[in-house]
Amino acid sequence: MENNKKDFTFSLSLILIGFYVTVEGILMYKKASKPPYNIETLSISPAFLPIILGVVLVLLSCILFLKSLKGTDFMTQLKIVGSSFKSAKTNQDIKAMFFGTVILGIYTFVLMAILPFWIASIIFLASLMTYLKATKFWKILLISFLSIGAVVLLFQVGFNAALPR
């Protein structure tokens, strides 16, 4: 029963992700088919792989969803999952995972959009280690600066690879 609950929840999440990837792939194809790219053949478009992966993800997630409903119905599974979410609100591991995800989202969608890579990465790494209470604050700053400095030195200087702006 516990596996069915996990499969049910996971399959619904994956169906949503699959639809998102498919729609974004279609939007990418529409953009690529216009000037200056003019790639009108789907099979050579950069959108081909995301569309295929999105559709496959939706199909396989639907199979998992149907498998999770064996021996029960949709509303029963929904009630079981709903009761699990109530107990998850007090679970410290889930709270830590949630706030870690929020910090990662802020780094990806906010900091990387407005700051250079190295500054955004130092802020992210220091924030995450501070939240996790990894060590003393001055050590966190030292580790953050040295780690990101090493990444920039290795990739930008050593491998001559372009890092995000």
pLDDT profile of the chain (165 residues), mean per 10 = 80 95 96 92 92 97 91 83 77 87 95 96 96 95 97 94 86
> What's the pLDDT score for residue 1?
58
Cα separation, 5 vs 141, whole angstroms: 42
Sole residue written with tokens 């498998």: 67
Cα separation, 121 vs 141, whole angstroms: 12
Answer for the pair 101, 44: CB distance below 8 angstroms, yes or no: no
Q: How many residues does the chain have?
A: 165
Residue 103 neighbours by CB under 8 Å, 6+ apart: 124, 127, 128, 131
Which has the closest alpha carbon to 18: 3, 77, 26, 85?
26
> What's the pLDDT score for residue 146?
98
> What's the pLDDT score for residue 71?
82
pTM as predicted: 0.60
> What's the pLDDT score for residue 8?
86
Cα separation, 93 vs 111, whole angstroms: 26
